[in-house]
Amino acid sequence: MRELVFATNNLHKTQEVSKLLLGQYKILNLNDIGCDVDIPETGNSFAENATLKSQYVVDHYQIDCFADDSGLEIAALNQEPGIFSARYSGVRNDQENLNLVLQKMKGQSNRKARFRTVISLVRNQEHFLFEGIIYGNIRETPFGTQGFGYDPIFEPEGYTQTFAEMSMEEKNKISHRALAMNKLITFLKEQA
Ligand code: IMP
C-alpha cells in the first residue's frame, strides 16, 4: 500500500485521516518516520507554513507528505491573530491568547471572524493546496468547555452556540479543518 506522511505529532488527527483512507494509503505521522525536528514555520501565510512542513518531509525522507496550518482571522483586527494564532499573546497558552483577543475586541462592533485551514500536499513531486473556511462572529465572553484554542469565543454563522459548546462530532461536520481535509480526501480517492 502507498505510504503518505501527515506532518503532525497529533495522534488523534493521524488516526482520523487513517480511517478515512483505509485500504488506500498507509498514513504515517512524524513520530512514525523518526522526525523529531520542530520544522520551522517561518512563512507569511497558512499556505506557506503548511508547504514548508510538507516539503521538509519530502526533502529529508523522500515520502509523499501533507501538512496543515490553521488559525483564526478577525476582520476588525486586520485578520489577526492569523498565522500567530498559537502564540498570539507571546506564549503557547490558549487562555492567554483568547484573553488578548477579547481585550483587543472590547467595544468593537464588527465581530466578524473566520477560521481557516490550508493543507499542502506534495505527491509525486507535484504540489497541491486545499483550503477550508468557516465564517462566524467573536463573542464578548467565552462560552462552553469543549474543544481548544479560540473555540469558546467563536460562534459559527447560522448557529447560536460557540464551537466550545458543540460536541466534537458537530464541530467536525462544519469546521475549517474538516472542510479542508474532506477536499484532500476526495482528491486522494480520485487519484488512487
Ligand atoms: P494548527 O495550525 O492547527 O496547530 O492551529 C494553530 C492555532 O490556531 C491553534 O493553536 C489555535 O490557537 C488556533 N486554532 C486552529 N484551529 C482551531 C480550532 O478549531 N478551534 C480553536 N482554535 C483553533
**What's 45's domain CATH number?**
3.90.950.10
Report the separation in Å between the CA atom of 69 and the middle of ligand 1, taken as the mean of its atom positions. Answer: 8
Q: Which of 14, 48, 85, 99 to mutate to test the pocket of ligand 1 (most atoms within 8 A of CB)?
A: 85
Asked whether the predicted pLDDT for residue 118 surpasses 90, the reply is yes
* Residues labelled as active-site residues: 69
Q: What's residue 1's pLDDT?
A: 87
Name the grid cell of 18.
Answer: 487513517
Burial of 20 (0-12, 13-18, 19+ CB in 10 A): middle
Strand 2-6 versus strand 25-29 pairing type: parallel
Is the shortest distance between the CB of 72 and ligand 1 below 6 Å? yes
Judge whether 87 is annotated as a binding position.
no
Judge whether 32 is annotated as a binding position.
no
Asked whether the predicted pLDDT for residue 98 surpasses 80, the reply is yes
Domain count for the chain: 1
Measure the CA–CA gap between 102 and 85, rounded to whole angstroms: 14
170-190 pLDDT, tens digit per residue, is: 998 999 999 999 999 999 999
13 falls in which pLDDT band (50, 70, 90)?
A: confident
Q: What is the DSSP letter of 178?
A: H
Q: What's residue 163's pLDDT?
A: 97
Q: What's residue 23's pLDDT?
A: 87
Is the shortest distance between the CB of 29 and ligand 1 below 6 Å? no
Domain extent at residue 75: 2-191
Measure the CA–CA gap between 81 and 67, rounded to whole angstroms: 20
101-112 pLDDT, tens digit per residue, is: 999 999 999 999
Report the separation in Å between the CA atom of 91 and the middle of ligand 1, taken as the mean of its atom positions. Answer: 14
Q: What's residue 191's pLDDT?
A: 85
Judge whether 11 is annotated as a binding position.
yes
| Ligand 1 nearest-atom number relative to CA 86 | 10
Name the grid cell of 33.
Answer: 518516520
Q: Which of 41, 68, 148 to mutate to test the pocket of ligand 1 (most atoms within 8 A of CB)?
A: 148
Report the separation in Å between the CA atom of 60 and the middle of ligand 1, taken as the mean of its atom positions. Answer: 26
